[in-house]
Structure 1
Amino acid sequence: MKLRPTHEALKDCIEKAGVKKVAGALGISSSLVYKWCQPPDDEKGESSGAANPLDRMLTIYELSGDSEIIQYLCRRAGGFFTENPHAKTKAELRFVTETIEILNKFADLMHYAERSLRGDGVIDHGEAVNLRQDWDRLKSRLEHFITACEQGQFDIRKEKD
Structure 2
Amino acid sequence: MSQQALSELHIIPQGQSINSAYYINQILAKTCMEAVHRCRNNGSVLERPMLENMSEFIFMQDGAPAHMANATQKWCQDHLNAFWRKIEWPGNSPDLNPIENLWGIVKEKVNEEGQITRCEQLIETVKSAWRDISPSILENLVASMPERIRIVLERNG
TM-score by length of 1: 0.24
Q: Higher helix fraction: Structure 1 or Structure 2?
A: 1
Higher relative contact order, chain-length normalized (CA < 8 Å, sep 6+): 2
TM-score by length of 2: 0.25
Which is higher, the Rg of structure 1 or of structure 2? 1
